[in-house]
Amino acid sequence: MDKVLLKKAAFQSFSIMIAVVTSSFVLMQYQTVTTAAITITSKNIYGVNDILEIQESFVDYVNTAIKDTGIPIEFSLHKVVQMDRALLEKLGSPIDQEVLTQLSNNYIIIKKPEASQLSITSEDLYINKSIKLMISGVGDTEMSSEKIIRVRGKEIFSGTPSYTEKNMKERDNEGLGEEQPVSTYDNDLSYHIEITHQQDSLSNQFNTQITLQLDNVYAYKIYEDENNYYLDLRKPSEVYDRILVIDAGHGGKDGGALSKDGTVFEKNINLDIVLNLKELLDKEDIKVYYTRTADDKVFLRPRAELANAVDCDYFISIHCNANDITSPNGTEILYYDTSFKGVKSSGLASIFSEEIGSVISLKNRGSIKKQMGDIFIMDKSRVPMILIETGYMTNNADLAYLSNAANRKAVAQGIFNGIMRAYEELPVNKE
């Protein structure tokens, strides 16, 4: 960016700060501080380092002055001013101050392509820690990752995310197979950016799809001004009071347990129970992350990672059991003897065992304690978790019960009742 323009921008954003501070003090009629503000403006400081130095000392000065007066106000304009400057430099287009003040410490700025009729939609692909943005009406200019600016606190990243490979090796998703080198991306919010640019054959309009793979799962909000889109990224726990992760076991190529005659897959029963449960949970003020809502193959590690990343209150995994012989039957709630956020998984298991047991007619086998190493997904979870084995695929009566749609709905109702009771009886310790 042109140096003169940069200086101008720096001065402008500095002036905004002065204006804010000055006007506040004029209102409060504190003459001494007003004078100090005017004195500093008149110094004509342009250099990047200078302006930051003065700004910090200025804010300190103002805060000290306020403290002396006993008025409970503190100024912290540092983020706004500093970010504005650096971003101007990278993007080459002005940032709306109003928007900027609403953003958290983590956000992504996407410079709008030059077009008159832009619109944006998004999709939260949280199981992949990704957010997909669809921008329509972009014209024929292709977008570049250079215009996608990731801001974490005071750090700014643009262009293709770069990584360094550590020597440390880690096992893959299922804890099996090939060892893989681990990549680190420093503090970049995005690990991978995929941009596709396509012309719609019907409308002849050009559309851009941006898939941002992020370092974590975020609750996001999109803002926009004349020049840019802003993707504000926050911890889900900052945004939602109640968070659940519901896991329909298996999926896709992984069918799970199979009925003895080989015709019924566990994955389908699990999914249908979860979809019934979703209908009930949709009516509640609870943010629910589902590991899958379709017949998708999802590895085990990302399921546990999702639960940990969103720091859910309860992580509930739904399965059906199987045995070599056909006689074992009934419902089991599996848990580890662990406690997270003040919630004992054993307590959670008892509640679900009672609630499910009271609405379905399968034998209630109670809650069953498992050991570290028994269940991969439980080994990896750092949140209160249970695994529900609704019934036995290998038992004829259980299978007949679970093959009936109304019964699967009843199982979902039992799980739902368990969730609501858990919120009342086992509140999560929010730190």
DSSP run (H or E) holding 50: helix 48-69
Residue placing its CB nearer to Zn ion in the complex, 4 or 176: 176
Q: Which of 113, 161, 251, 256 binds Zn ion (CB under 5 A)?
A: 256
Residue placing its CB nearer to Zn ion in the complex, 109 or 360: 360
Smallest distance, Å, CB 332 to Zn ion? 12
Residue placing its CB nearer to Zn ion in the complex, 139 or 255: 255
- Residues sharing a CB contact under 8 Å with residue 394, sequence separation 6 or more, in sequence order: 257, 259, 260, 321, 322, 323, 324, 325, 326, 328
Smallest distance, Å, CB 172 to Zn ion? 20
Smallest distance, Å, CB 415 to Zn ion? 15
Cα–Cα distance, 268 to 274 (Å, whole number): 10
Size of the site for Zn ion (CB under 5 A): 3
Q: How far is residue 104 CA from its own chain's centroid?
A: 14
Residue placing its CB nearer to Zn ion in the complex, 240 or 352: 352
Encoded amino acid at 401, one letter: Y
Report which residue's Cβ sits closest to Zn ion: 319
Residue placing its CB nearer to Zn ion in the complex, 100 or 415: 415
Alpha-carbon distances, residue 406 vs 318, 357, 359, 401, 412 (angstroms): 17, 16, 12, 9, 10
Cα–Cα distance, 81 to 86 (Å, whole number): 9
Residue placing its CB nearer to Zn ion in the complex, 111 or 267: 267
Residue placing its CB nearer to Zn ion in the complex, 249 or 357: 249
- Residue 391 is a binding residue for Zn ion (CB under 5 A): no
Smallest distance, Å, CB 397 to Zn ion? 19
Among residues 126, 315, 312, 102, the alpha carbon closest in space to that of 217 is found at 126
Binding-site string for Zn ion from residue 316 to residue 345, where x marks contact by CB under 5 A and - marks none: ---x--------------------------
Alpha-carbon distances, residue 274 vs 76, 123, 142, 306 (angstroms): 46, 21, 40, 17
CA angle (351, 126, 140) in 5-degree steps? 160
How do strand 364-370 and strand 331-336 relate by DSSP bridges? parallel
Cα–Cα distance, 112 to 93 (Å, whole number): 10
Binding-site string for Zn ion from residue 236 to residue 255, where x marks contact by CB under 5 A and - marks none: -------------x------
Smallest distance, Å, CB 249 to Zn ion? 4
CA angle (18, 22, 26) in 5-degree steps? 175
Smallest distance, Å, CB 20 to Zn ion? 58
Smallest distance, Å, CB 298 to Zn ion? 13
Among residues 332, 325, 331, 333, the alpha carbon closest in space to that of 396 is found at 325
DSSP run (H or E) holding 328: none
Smallest distance, Å, CB 364 to Zn ion? 19
Smallest distance, Å, CB 173 to Zn ion? 16
Residue placing its CB nearer to Zn ion in the complex, 103 or 264: 264
Q: How far is residue 314 CA from its own chain's centroid?
A: 16
Residue placing its CB nearer to Zn ion in the complex, 112 or 319: 319
Find the binding residues for Zn ion in span 262-321 (CB under 5 A): 319
Which residues make up the interface to Zn ion (CB under 5 A)? 249, 256, 319
